[in-house]
Amino acid sequence: MEKNKPLILISNDDGVISKGISALIRFLRPLGDIVVMAPDAPRSGVGCGVSINEPVKYQMVRKDVGLSVYKCSGTPVDCIKLAFYTVLDRQPDIIIGGINHGDNSSVNVHYSGTMGAVIEGAIRGIPSVAFSLCDHDADADFDPAGPYIRDIVEKILQHGLPPHTCLNVNFPKVKELKGVRICEQAEGTWVNEWESFAHWGDSQFFWMAGEFKPTNPENENSDYWALANGYVAITPTQVDMTSRQLLNDLKSWF
């Protein structure tokens, strides 16, 4: 790794062999040296989870000039933590998650392992950004997002981000993007979340399903609206989840 180049640390939750992470590497190689530490298999939906009941291991899978790729048996957050402990020779200039197969807008930010990786970066005070495409297909087309991803990463490397803040960037599944919208997180919830699929003796089994129902789909400031209308949605996201309003109200209770 060249010390005078930016150091980019990448992880995801779809696994080290996913097309999304390969596309991200391809888009960003001109911008700096890259270290990838990603799960050895899909870890979608683990959020900010860490491995506390079993040991974690890692293994190099690829080594080129300016690029090192490792697979890890743990979660995306494990990957970031382990990269700092084992393979990094200096602090990365930016931590990047993705490109995720499927969007991480609205409340999905709380479930996403890809967002978990960049939230871990934000906790460490390192500028961090997650990229997601609204397409679960293993062979999804990430090329329309490429120029936007490079531009966003270049801007973060130039300007930085406030401490303990990261960016959640989502792309709609369209051939031509209309541009960028700076968004707030849409309000909403998942409904019809379980589907029964089998019985075994006295046990009944369920598969996660459901659909997202926005509280206000016409809110043009939300990431949901931006994606539904063909825009790239960029949502600044912070580690501090303190409710400032309730904080002040609670002071009057006691």
Reported confidence tier of residue 210, pLDDT bands at 50, 70, 90? confident
pLDDT at position 12 is 96
User: Which of 79 and 111 is assigned the larger pLDDT?
Assistant: 79
Please write the tens of the pLDDT for every residue from 149-183.
Answer: 999 999 999 999 999 999 999 999 998 999 999 99
Q: What is the mean pLDDT of residues 84-97?
A: 96
pLDDT at position 245 is 87
Please write the tens of the pLDDT for every residue from 4-25.
Answer: 899 999 999 999 999 999 999 9
Q: What is the mean pLDDT of residues 57-74?
A: 95
pLDDT at position 76 is 94
Q: What is the mean pLDDT of the chain?
A: 92
Please write the tens of the pLDDT for every residue from 29-42.
Answer: 999 999 999 999 88
pLDDT at position 2 is 56
Domain borders along the chain are: 7-185+217-251
CATH code assigned to 7-185+217-251: 3.40.1210.10
Secondary structure of the chain in the HEC alphabet?
Answer: CCCCCCEEEEECCCCCCCHHHHHHHHHHHHHCEEEEEEECCCCCCCCCCCCCCCCCCEEEEEEECCEEEEEECCCHHHHHHHHHHHCCCCCCCEEEEEEEECCCCHHHHHCCHHHHHHHHHHHCCCCEEEEEECCCCCCCCCHHHHHHHHHHHHHHHHHCCCCCEEEEEEECCCCCCCCEEECECCCEEEECCEEEEEEECCEEEEEECCEEEECCCCCCCEHHHHHHCCCEEEEEEECCCCCHHHHHHHHCCC
pLDDT at position 191 is 81
User: Which of 171 and 215 is assigned the larger pLDDT?
Assistant: 171
